[in-house]
Amino acid sequence: MAVVVITGCSSGFGLATALAFARRRDRVWATMRNPADAGDLSAAVEAEHLEVATLPLDVTDGASVEAAVGHVLEVEGRIDVLVNNAGVAHMGAVEVLGVEDARNLFETNVFGQVRMIQAVLPGMRERGEGVIVNVSSMAGRLPGTPANWAYAASKHAAGSLSDSLAEEVRQFGVRVVCIEPGFYATSVTRKGRPLPPASPYRDLEQHVARWMHANVMSGGDPAEVAEAIVAAANDASSPVHVPVGADAFAAIQAASSMTEEQWAAVSRKVYGLEG
């Protein structure tokens, strides 16, 4: 029975992952910024007669991270698996997306993961075992998307973070996995900041936003990503990078087989930049 800490559990991948581990009878600590948002998780837990503990945790706040991780360690004595899932998405062209908006995104998507890792890793290292799962995106394996640079850059950073960390902690028996989902039906596009007003790139930004939202809403079941997370966490032979979803595999393969010019041509067609 593993002790599992998961961030961003109010919806989407985090909620589904908490349920997936709980069904295995693991000790699940589902965290979220605001415990008042735990309604969907609580309803699912009650319906399936599962055991999941919820805990407030804001990954952008070092004191919140220390308090939450400290509480779990006090109760459980250890953390076996960390799932770094909390994430946000803000869109806007480079010229117009505010630096503060981009910084806030990185605080959650990148530095939030680092804070959690730094909080749980000493115990894992001392015990000589543990698994850290960083949830990224296929965007972290692809050339940048117009008007989505901040999100894509944060996911590239999560991938590089995972690569570096995996080599650093291998000697201590700790494993690292970077999950890279394609499009799945989550609330990520609805929870992002509104597009910048009065932007000279408004047509492009709206086109990309509509395209992204349509793909997310028609995407797969987040439970598929949750199952991939559980499987990777329990598979000692798992590679660091784990794409999830047919679209993720196809896009990553296509990007690796195309020249820069070929990919740019496809991108312009998809995002309405031809002409």
Q: How far apart are CA 49 and CA 66, in angstroms?
A: 30
In this prediction, residue 53 carries a pLDDT of 98
Helix H or strand E segment including 4: strand 3-6
Look-up: residue for tokens 């995002």?
A: 271
In this prediction, residue 121 carries a pLDDT of 99
Contacts of 150 (CB under 8 A, 6+ apart): 90, 91, 92, 97, 101, 102, 105, 106
DSSP, res 218 = T
Helix (H, G, I), strand (E, B) or coil at 133: strand
Residues in the chain with pLDDT values less than 50: none
* CB crowding 131-142: b at 16 or more within 10 Å, else e: bbbbbbbbbbbb
Q: How far apart are CA 103 and CA 118, in angstroms?
A: 20
Q: How far apart are CA 54 and CA 35, in angstroms?
A: 7
Task: Kindly list the structural domains of the chain, giving each domain's residue range(s) and its CATH number in brackets, ordered by start.
Answer: 3-270 (3.40.50.720)
Q: Are strands 174-181 and 27-32 parallel, antiparallel or unpaired?
A: unpaired
Contact in structure between 41 and 15 (CB atoms under 8 Å): yes
Query: Which segments of 33-80 are extended strands (E)?
Result: 52-56
Q: What is the DSSP string of 166-195?
A: HHHHGGGTEEEEEEEE--BS-SHHHHSPPP
Q: How far apart are CA 75 and CA 113, in angstroms?
A: 22
Contact in structure between 142 and 252 (CB atoms under 8 Å): yes
In this prediction, residue 144 carries a pLDDT of 82
Tell me the catalytic residues: 151
